[in-house]
Structure 1
């Protein structure tokens, strides 16, 4: 059985960036760039028209920026996955976009293979997470989240283990291997974690873990 084609929309106000991304993605089997847009308004319209699987979204654009565009897209098309493309990992706009529901971010200088793999990762429902960068972006935001501790207290010990590994950037398969669980069991735990935390996806759960300070002790972050 062949996999469905991953349909992608590119949103960036720099034509050179869009053409570069298109060139990278059109060489990947099973990936199709269905539309391009040069600002947030046009990006939302392109998603309305094509209902893509993945949107590669610049965050800093004139008019409607990538954060507002991401919010609108996910309100209208919750199944679409948004992958932020940015120049600097320390850009505060990146954290705002992740909080708005983006499934991850990439640097514009990323290698072509990293970009292709990131599109596949988010298309299958995982997050493109760089723990060190996200932790730095969150910074002192945890001080503004007093309700986090009570929500984390609702998690079982196994769910807490899954959240720690999820926040460290592990995929379901990697979590399953580390905890000696089946992948389907891990998927169930992840679903339960998202429900108890009120997170829409893995990325929001990971940000929650960082903002609360829960993931500070995870090695390698």
Structure 2
């Protein structure tokens, strides 16, 4: 059985690189390359390939929305995500949206071929390193943060934990070797990101997502 592939990526050179890998595979062909969702829809309305390889680097929500749209409109289409984003959050979102494979753009020919054949057979394929990150995350379920908190830096996470343990700006500054002014700036940014307006909100956030245990917080930031 020949596996037909549609490439959706707004980077011409990236599409060319993926096409080059696919052209070395037996019974796998690239039927078209497109740079946007609208171009893909035009082609899919005429003919349905076996697999779509889709880039989600243009923005998490944009990429996830595209996956949801294509999976809803074309249920038999297998979707392979190609990305430079190695976050388990994005992988989880992509799989929930309907993707059957998640690969980094550093993928080898062998891994890409394995993924394409798995998806063509209605199976799932995950990048091995990403799978290990996901398994590690599930070992600490209380540390799974809401989407809006994913952009917090490790330092901000550390400060949230310390605020959650009732430490003031001066004590945090002393322990971290920062100035109180820097800690205050971090505190303001944290409240903006997590949507809280005061220290009580930060404490409740830290408690809700299991950040009061410094050992757990440290493991999450590894």
TM score, norm. by length of structure 1: 0.56
Aligned partner of 1:52 in structure 2 is 49
Aligned partner of 1:15 in structure 2 is 12
Distance change >3 Å, CA 133–CA 40, structure 1 → 2: farther
**Which of structures 1 and 2 has the bigger CA Rg?**
2
The counterpart of 2:89, out of the listed 84, 89, 92, is 92
Unmatched runs of 5 consecutive residues or more in structure 2: 146-222
The counterpart of 1:83, out of the listed 80, 105, 113, is 80
Residue 128 of structure 1: how far off its partner (Å): 0.4
Residue 29 of structure 1: how far off its partner (Å): 1.4
- Does the 8 A contact of 2:57 with 2:85 survive in 1? no
Moved over 6 A (4+): 141-144
**Alignment of 1:72 onto 2:69:** yes
Distance change >3 Å, CA 93–CA 26, structure 1 → 2: same
Return the structure number with greater relative CO, CA threshold 8 A, min gap 6. 1
Equivalent residue runs for 1:1-221 within 5 Å:
4-61=1-58, 65-90=62-87, 92-129=89-126, 130=128, 131-135=131-135, 140=141
Distance change >3 Å, CA 96–CA 143, structure 1 → 2: closer
Unmatched runs of 5 consecutive residues or more in structure 1: 145-221
Aligned partner of 1:154 in structure 2 is none
- Does the 8 A contact of 1:95 with 1:137 survive in 2? no
CA distance in 2, matches of 1:48, 1:128: 26
Distance change >3 Å, CA 65–CA 137, structure 1 → 2: farther
Aligned Cα RMSD in Å? 2.6
CA distance in 2, matches of 1:11, 1:75: 17
Residue 140 of structure 1: how far off its partner (Å): 4.1
